[in-house]
C-alpha cells in the first residue's frame, strides 16, 4: 500500500517508540505494540474535526500532536502524538478528508446533519 504520510511517535524528537502512524488516500492508520500489535484505522470521510496542539516541550524537540475526532464508533478520538511537522500533517489530513468527502458526495448531507434542531439548510429558523 502506498502511504501519503507516515511517522512514528517520538520521544525527545527520536522515533524510538512502537507507535506508528500512516495515512493513505482514504484511511488513517495507527499501530501500537511490539509483541502484541494493536491496529486501528479511521476512514477519512468520517472525520468531523482536526485540531493541533504543540506544548513547550514538544516545540523544543520539533514535534506536536494532531487530534482527530471522527464518527467512528471504535475510535471516535484519535491523537497522533509527538509527530514531526504537525502543522503540515494537519493540513495534509484536512485536504485528504475534504477529498474523501467529495468523492463520497457527503458535503450537503453532512451539513444538513450538523444543523441544529429547528434550522433549515440556509441557517434560517424553521417554523
Q: Would you call 80 helix, strand, or coil by DSSP?
A: strand
The per-residue pLDDT for 108 is 52
The per-residue pLDDT for 5 is 95
Identify whether the C-beta of residue 24 lies closer than 8 Å to the C-beta of residue 44.
Answer: no
- DSSP string for residues in 5-63: EEEE--BTTB--SSEEEEE-SSEEEEEE-SSS-EEEEEEGGGEEEEEEE--HHHHHHTE
Rounded mean pLDDT for each run of 10 residues along the chain, 127 residues in total: 92 92 96 94 95 96 96 91 97 95 72 49 44
Say how far apart CA 118 and CA 62 lie, in whole Å. 46
pTM for this predicted structure: 0.79
The per-residue pLDDT for 31 is 96
Amino acid at each position: 500500500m502506498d502511504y501519503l504520510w507516515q511517522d512514528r511517535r517520538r520521544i525527545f524528537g527520536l522515533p524510538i517508540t512502537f507507535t506508528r502512524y500512516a495515512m493513505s488516500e482514504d484511511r488513517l492508520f495507527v499501530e501500537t505494540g511490539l509483541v502484541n500489535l494493536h491496529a486501528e484505522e479511521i476512514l477519512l470521510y468520517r472525520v468531523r474535526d482536526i485540531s493541533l496542539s504543540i506544548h513547550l516541550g514538544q516545540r523544543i524537540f520539533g514535534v506536536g500532536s494532531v487530534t482527530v475526532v471522527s464518527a467512528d464508533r471504535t475510535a471516535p478520538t484519535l491523537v497522533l502524538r509527538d509527530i514531526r511537522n504537525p502543522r503540515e500533517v494537519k493540513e495534509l489530513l484536512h485536504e485528504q478528508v475534504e477529498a474523501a468527502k467529495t468523492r463520497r458526495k457527503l458535503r450537503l448531507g453532512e451539513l444538513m446533519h450538523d444543523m441544529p434542531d429547528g434550522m433549515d439548510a440556509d441557517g434560517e429558523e424553521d417554523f
